[in-house]
Amino acid sequence: MSAPAMIRLARPRALRSVRYPLARGYATELKPNSSFTKVTHPDSSTPASTQELIKDHSQYLLNTYVRPPLLFTHGKGLTLVDSSNREYLDFTAGIAVTALGHSDDGVNQVINEQSSKISHASNIYWNEHAGELAKSLVEKTKEHGGLGLSVGLGSKGEEKNGKVFFANSGTEANEGALKFARAIGKTVSEDKVEIVCFTNAFHGRSMGALSCTPNPKYQAPFAPLIPGVKVGKYNETDQNVINELVNEKTCGIIVEPIQGEGGVGEGQVEFFQKLAKRAREVGAVLIYDEIQCGLFRSGTMWAHSEFPIEAQPDIITMAKPLSNGFPIGAIMVRSSIAEIISPGMHGTTFGGQPLATAIGVHVLDRLSNPSFQQNLKSVSTHLDTGIRRLPKLFPELINDELRGRGLIRGIAFKDLKAPSELVKLARERGLLLLTAGSDAVRLVPALTVSKDQCDHALAVIESCLSILVENGFGEKV
């Protein structure tokens, strides 16, 4: 047996219930918390066995990620444990994926029960859970608002039903939505094929989705991309500018109600109203990418759930939290779109398989529970209060700008070097964060996060921001 194969990681231990003694009341005065200035989780202390394992695996894994030398072995809730048995408070949720936290008991039970029956049988046949999850998505959207499926309004433009196509990821969901838009456009005219996207967008890394992600860092190595894509300014509310951007050749418009990767910027309702108005005038399909902001992360089922009926989309794409980490993506379309899509126009090998959709049914039931929603709203408000302190405490570092809502929040920096440094400093103190765009740090914890955990995370952030100020980051004020 080779040396790497004999490596043994630290034995996982049962996770204790982590208490956060600095929780309630620490933020009663306008003074930064400084309890976490000491490094407790240094990257440099990674065990030799882990370093050897990483070195061995690096010979076989394609190098597309820059990663710290951390290897997580297990977790529970918002806690992740590395190969040194160090606990981290996870405010990344696997990039907004594990909405119910890590190793959730209910999810585990569904996985065990369903995998013992059948995991995959292909879309040549029916299975019992794909239709169940599709029905749940449509009916809960009618209940909570979205896709024009509101019940009882009697408004012009109200849709009576929707249909769902299951894929394996958010990128695949967006790719399928773009294909549907092209198909709809071609029923009108062969040259109605242009797609409109917006600045700071991130829609995925396949060729179609990448073509609608106008960031040179992602696009340049793979140019030329698909033709016929136009880029507009996000939150542009000048109707004349929108009318010029979206014209008779436009088949589809793809936009995020809240931009996750692009810096947690939130779209104005007026922007979406005017965009939707123009889309309907020229017969373009309006796609809302809710892969990161949807499924209750924003505080409502969809970030657009409470938009007026005239600003509702024709298609919603989703993925990340739907099966709490098990790969799944979905496209939900208005019935008028569904009528144009016929057998053979699109397909998938794994999408809609019974295991993924059984988990999805469970997750959606949990997330939409009224008591869960009430707690989510309370915790989100509490987190918001803590975030609002930061520009006051660190005016030289933090922009006085609120980004996002619910549990997709962005901290906007004046110093563009600071976000990545904050992520590193926080990680070395046991808190996992994400950057977003060029100027922000993103907070996307599991939707099961507690107020104590929010306070602990903010205390670590304040301590790290104090260190950044001491090290000369930020502007002089």
Residue 348, token pair as written in the block: 């998938």
pLDDT for 474 equals: 84
C-beta atoms surrounding 187 within 10 Å: 10
Distances (CA, A) of 298 to 38, 44, 118: 33, 36, 34
Residue 439, token pair as written in the block: 């100027």
Q: Where are the beta strands (DSSP E) in 23-179?
A: 72-76, 79-82, 87-90, 162-167
Q: Per residue in 251-298, pLDDT tens?
A: 999 999 999 999 999 999 999 999 999 999 999 999 999 999 999 999
Q: What strand order describes the sheet that includes 431-432?
A: 72-76, 79-82, 87-90, 431-432
Question: Is the separation of the CB atoms in 244 and 281 below 8 Å?
Answer: no
Nearest-angstrom CA–CA distance, 157 and 149:
9
Nearest-angstrom CA–CA distance, 181 and 158:
20
3-state helix, strand, coil in the chain (%, to 5): 35, 15, 50
Nearest-angstrom CA–CA distance, 171 and 177:
10
Low-confidence residues in the chain, pLDDT < 50: 1-7, 10, 17, 23-24, 152-155, 477
Nearest-angstrom CA–CA distance, 77 and 164:
30
> To which residue do tokens 């992600």 refer?
213
pLDDT for 475 equals: 75
Question: Is the separation of the CB atoms in 469 and 394 below 8 Å?
Answer: yes
Nearest-angstrom CA–CA distance, 251 and 284:
5
Q: Per residue in 305-360, pLDDT tens?
A: 999 999 999 999 999 999 999 999 999 999 999 999 999 999 999 999 999 999 99
φ, ψ (nearest 5 deg) of residue 255: -155, 145
